[in-house]
Amino acid sequence: MKAILAVDDKMGIGKDGTIPWKFNEDMQYFKSMTIGDKLFCGRKTYESLNGNLPSRKLVVISRSLGSDHEGDIEIRDIISWREMFDKSNWLIGGAVLFNGVAQMELIDQLFLSRIKGDYECDTFIEVPSYLKLVSVLTLSENVKVEKWIKNIPEQ
């Protein structure tokens, strides 16, 4: 599976339930990578988006959301979620979901925007040790995108 997230210098992804930075070049990159695809996210990420991801289908992994979210899919367990996933889908956060999926070694590719600075985040991720950095794309002075892939040991 693919994941796409942004972090500050301390690997923070959010503060007080929001993304504490706004860089248009990062948002445009996110849009270009995910347009037309299915995006998987946790409840808090879903709530922070306010449904503002046109031309994409959101799949919310949650035990606490009701089923009244028209146009969205609520999945309550990881087995059902894994059965729905294919290579054109993205994991977009939040930290609990990302770190859990990473721990299960299910991430094959990670596109990680590095946002310059410390934004005093209260939510963090870690890049899984089984991923290997393969490229860096500079979007601006403040935003660089790293591509990580699953490191498959040689036999």
Q: How far apart are CA 29 and CA 100, in angstroms?
A: 25
pLDDT at residue 110 is higher than 90 = yes
The answer to whether the beta carbons of residues 93 and 113 sit under 8 Å apart is: no
Total-model pTM: 0.89
Q: Which domains does the chain have, with CATH numbers?
A: 2-150 (3.40.430.10)
Start-to-end C-alpha separation, the chain: 23
Confidence of residue 49 (pLDDT cuts 50, 70, 90): confident
pLDDT band at 35 (very low <50, low <70, confident <90, very high): very high
Residue with tokens 């209260």: 122
Q: Is the pLDDT of residue 62 over 80?
A: no
Q: Judge residue 56's burial from the number of C-beta atoms within 10 Å of its C-beta, 0-12 exposed, 13-18 middle, 19 or more buried.
A: middle
